[in-house]
Amino acid sequence: MKLLNKINSYYHNKILSRHSLSIEETGRRMLFVNFLLLLIIPLVIFASVHLKNGIYLYSIINYSFAAAFFILIIVLNYQKNAKIIYRLITICFGFILFYWAKTGAVMGYSSIWILTFPLYAFFLMGKKEGFYWTILCAILTVLVFINPFSFFSDFSYPGEYISRHLFTFFMIFLISYSYESIREKYKSAMEAEQAELLLEKDKLAEAKDAVDRANILLKE
């Protein structure tokens, strides 16, 4: 138990942030760091496979992204406001997904990672900004899959895979958007209730002062 507590303390203080964070921001950073760590693993695997097959350019690109993500995890630890890093990683992640989908990595199955994008974007960016990032991702995905103008000729996806993939993406998008909407409404309600409680606390303090002054006058 003590070892687990030490590991948990080290994870929060040395990896997530050296600053004091809210519960919501701590949750965001946990998702962000864990997601990057999970993303680094396939990048290293793909880079190693490309290196073994003599495809050095793709190997260097994958290794570079893996190293950049690891460095950003370290940089995140020193940042109190991580919004800029979230946006930067969103752009990098979107580029990687586009690259994987376009080239048909692992016989096209790497495009399944696209399904994680709505969850990532909505939770880190919020409902409004996450919506725009997800719509952009959806448009690029459709263009790569359908390839209407023959811009992307690296890999051809079967029709059944495209329909199932896009349907699943749409369902995850709706669920993520609905969940984030409810979460933001709940957060706003909690903040309003907290503000009301603070106002009531101030009124009680003023009433107490008035009662104390009245008691003093009665004693005189």
Q: What pLDDT, on the 0 to 100 scale, is given for residue 153? A: 61
pLDDT band per the 50, 70, 90 thresholds, residue 197: confident
Pick the more confident residue, 181 or 25: 181
Task: List the domain boundaries for the chain.
Answer: 2-180
Q: What is the 3-state secondary structure (H, E, C) of 123-160?
A: HHHHHHHHHHHHHHHHHHHHHHHHCCCCCCCCCCCCHH
The pTM of the full predicted model, rounded to 2 decimals, is 0.68
